[in-house]
Structure 1
Amino acid sequence: MAPARRLLMLVISAVVCAAVASAPVVATAETAGEDCGKAAWPLASARTRLASPLRTVEAGGRLSLPLEGAVTLALSDRASAALPFQPTRRGRESRAGFVRIAVPPPGGDYQITVSDGAWLDVFADGKPLAPLAFTGVHACPGVRKSLRFRLTAGEVVLVVTDASGAGLAMVIDPVGP
């Protein structure tokens, strides 16, 4: 390679390196080690509400849809949780609880998004409902997973097992068109 051409290549390389080094660093979910954007549907609104639950609901308590914001379900050790239904997964001994939820007519598709890892079962008429869809994110601060269920008008029971903390923050939203 000719000396002039080699010098030109070095100058161009130096300019490119200087430009990259002086460019502002923009933190994104990817660069921050978060995988929030990898969920199957947007969770930003739920994540914001999960950061500030409005109230705590005692295990065995009642909620009515629609909820105005996030709530925290109080949990106890699984042995004393007095769950009304057996969870669909055997799981390990852990924190557990349940809440009865009044679903307004005509019912519909609802999304339950939770702050931390836990097993969620929804029961209607004593039978577990299969989720319509599921998405989970392991490295998204403040949100762990979201499940969608088709709920009929009336009462359903949400059973939480395999949780690690004394409470689980959650939001329950209708799934929009």
Structure 2
Amino acid sequence: MRRFVLGLALVLVGAGAQAEPAREAEPARQAQASPPPTGAPAAPVPAACTDFAWPLMREETWFAAPGLARVASGDTLRPEMPGAVLTLKPEAEVAFPVAPSRVPPPGSYGGVLRFPAPIRPGIHQVTLSDEAWIDVSQDGQTTRPPVDHTVNRDCPTLRKSLRYQFGTAPVIIEISGAKRDTIKIAVAPVE
């Protein structure tokens, strides 16, 4: 009986290994087909979106989720809702608590997002879907420099991710220099 079970297991493993090359060609056929119907699996992530200094698949998943929460400038992003669409305003209408560390270009958009004090201090990453400038403050008076960053202009769904050392005070995230009036943002501890 053991030999039969072992033989069956080897046959199934071998069949799975032989079927693998056919699966590799599947994404190419799917890319040429029409968009998947509602409820169908999401399209494969473009290769350029995996070319960041650290993995951002968690953020990619949040940004692609149906019904992604919308928050307005000045709102608080709850930790249980780490990703959202932030509605921005024309720069002239934004009251930044701390002056942006880079002068925004004319005609750009900006906004302020608050994040509650982290339970544990540590490195968190702030990820954006599009080009914009990020400033972070925990004292409401000065900006905190990032400890690291990664940018990829070839990814259509993610643009940049910056890592910051957060203490246990509330966080203010300022977005400036955006080209559109909305941007997807995620704030979460480093995995």
TM-score range, shorter chain: 0.7 to 0.9
**Count of residue correspondences:** 149
- Residue 61 of structure 1 aligns to a residue in which SS? coil
Separation in structure 1 between the aligned mates of residue 126 and residue 51 of structure 2, nearest angstrom: 17
What CA distance in whole angstroms lies between the structure 2 residues aligned with 1:161 and 1:143?
17
Answering whether residue 136 of structure 2 is matched by residue 122 of structure 1, we say yes
SS at match of 1:73: strand
Aligned counterpart for 2:63 among listed residues 30, 50, 54: 50
Tell me how large the CA RMSD over aligned residues is.
2.1
1:112, distance to aligned residue in structure 2 (A): 1.0
Q: For each residue in 1:82-124, what CA deviation from the matched residue of structure 2 results, as whole angstroms up to 9, or x when unmatched? A: 2121100113121000012112332211011111111000012
| Higher relative contact order (Cα pairs below 8 Å, separated by 6+ residues) | 1
Structure 2 regions of 5+ residues with no counterpart?
Answer: 1-24, 29-44
Q: Secondary structure at the match of 2:59?
A: helix
Q: Secondary structure at the match of 2:76?
A: strand
| TM-score normalized with structure 1 length | 0.76
Kept in 2: contact 1:105–1:154 (CA 8 A): no
Where do 5+ consecutive residues of structure 1 fail to align? Answer: 1-23
How many angstroms apart in 2 are the aligned matches of 1:75 and 1:139?
23
Question: 1: distance between equivalents of 2:26 and 2:152?
Answer: 25
Q: Aligned partner of 1:175: which letter? A: V
CA distance in 1 between counterparts of 2:64 and 2:117 reads 24
Within 5 Å, give how 1:65-104 maps onto structure 2. Answer: 66-93=79-106, 94-104=108-118
Q: What fraction of aligned residue pairs are identical, expressed as a percent? A: 32
Superposed structure 1 runs of 4+ greater than 3 Å apart: 24-27
Deviation (angstroms), 1:81: 1.2
**Structure 1 residues 106-160: Cα deviation after superposition (integer angstroms, max 9, x where no partner):** 2211011111111000012121111011001111121111110011112111000
Which letter maps to 2:137?
F
Shift in Å, 1:175? 0.8
User: Counterpart amino acid of 1:173?
Assistant: A
Give the structure with the higher percent strand.
1
Aligned to 2:175: 160
1:54 shift after superposition: 2.5
| Distance of 2:89 and 2:134 partners within structure 1 | 15
Counterpart of 1:145 (choices 154, 160, 165) is 160
TM-score, L = length of structure 2: 0.71
Q: Does 2:184 align with 1:169?
A: yes
Of structures 1 and 2, the larger Rg is shown by 1
Choose between structure 1 and 2: higher helix proportion.
Answer: 2
Contact 1:34 1:141 in 2 (8 A): no
Cα distance in 2, alignment partners of residues 45 and 55 from structure 1: 16
